[in-house]
């Protein structure tokens, strides 16, 4: 099995006629993802190397049966594109766009919570990869093979690094989920933990966090109460200075809150082993699952 994307995925790409949207849509298709359509207002009736383009998500869903959306439109228009996809009946929306205004993210988050059955991953995320099944986003799939380790991360590049370290130890992945590094993500670590806990293929969960916010602390509490599978953690940012944003908009430390040390302490207090480096994360995985 897998989480979020797989053999049943029928992908529609918003912004498919742009350079980035077309490049990654075709790259996802080359991997084996079933890319059934794209959306660009005003360009309906065109196609991108055989992928039909529609003016709206409603038309794309009706004509192509899309059930998953990838958002690759500029920040000022991304929120409306996400909400249009949800209104059209898309169940899984993966927003790659970076730089969406925080008030737009809050509007999207609030409205989607009123729409049961709709799940948003991102924004500002690398996407979701289920090796051997489907790739929706910008994750370099060549790093990964199918296996039993589920990975979720706030950082794209750390996702790739940890995945590579696991691969060097002989591990493959059930799914890799980048939740994004913005202050208001559509899905949290807790949301993805629930998916991995219920996924038969996943035997070990790796959670890669970073400074800022309390997502990792909340996840620690959830793991202690609801997760039966082993979880290995990694927190980036031990050397981050207080009050300075480090890369992602949500990666900012205020006083003693949101520090890497505080997050690591919260996880370890709940029995989660935390690697200090991506290499150590893979070594812990070997100890737990064997290698």
Catalytic residues: 248
Beta strands 173-178 and 127-130 are antiparallel
CA 179 to chain centre: 4
Count how many Cα atoms sit within 13 Å of the Cα of residue 260 in the half-sphere of its side chain. 18
**Which residue blocks in the chain are alpha helix, DSSP H?**
19-31, 57-64, 75-87, 102-112, 156-168, 189-197, 215-226, 260-269, 278-289
SS3 23: helix
Q: Which residues of 124-156 are buried (b: 16+ CB within 10 A; e: fewer)?
A: bbbbbbbbbbbbbbbbebebbeebebbbbbbbb
Helix H or strand E segment including 88: none
């Amino acid at each position: 099995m897998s989480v979020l994307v797989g053999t049943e995925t029928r992908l529609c790409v918003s912004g498919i006629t742009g350079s980035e949207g077309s490049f990654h849509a075709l790259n996802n298709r080359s991997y084996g993802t079933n890319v059934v359509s794209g959306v660009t207002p005003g360009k309906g009736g065109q196609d991108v190397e055989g992928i039909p383009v529609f003016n709206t998500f409603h038309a794309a869903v009706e004509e192509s049966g899309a059930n998953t959306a990838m958002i690759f439109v500029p920040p000022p228009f991304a929120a409306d594109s996400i909400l249009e996809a949800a209104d059209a009946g898309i169940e899984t929306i993966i927003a790659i766009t970076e730089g969406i205004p925080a008030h737009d993210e809050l509007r999207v988050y609030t409205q989607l919570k009123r729409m049961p059955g709709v799940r948003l991953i991102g924004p500002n995320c690398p996407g979701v990869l289920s090796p051997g099944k489907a790739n929706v986003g910008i994750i370099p799939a060549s790093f990964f093979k199918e296996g039993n380790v589920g990975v979720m991360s706030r950082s794209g590049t750390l996702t790739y690094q940890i995945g590579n370290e696991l691969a060097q130890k002989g591990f493959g992945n059930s799914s890799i989920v980048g939740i994004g590094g913005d202050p208001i993500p559509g899905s949290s670590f807790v949301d993805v933990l629930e998916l991995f806990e219920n996924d038969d293929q996943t035997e070990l969960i790796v959670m890669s966090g970073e400074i800022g916010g309390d997502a990792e602390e909340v996840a620690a509490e959830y793991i202690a109460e609801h997760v039966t599978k082993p979880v290995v953690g990694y927190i980036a940012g031990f050397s981050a200075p207080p009050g300075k944003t480090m890369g992602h908009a949500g990666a900012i430390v205020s006083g003693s809150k949101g520090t890497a040390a505080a997050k690591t302490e919260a996880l370890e207090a709940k029995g989660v082993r935390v690697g200090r480096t991506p290499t150590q994360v893979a070594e812990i995985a070997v100890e737990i699952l064997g290698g």
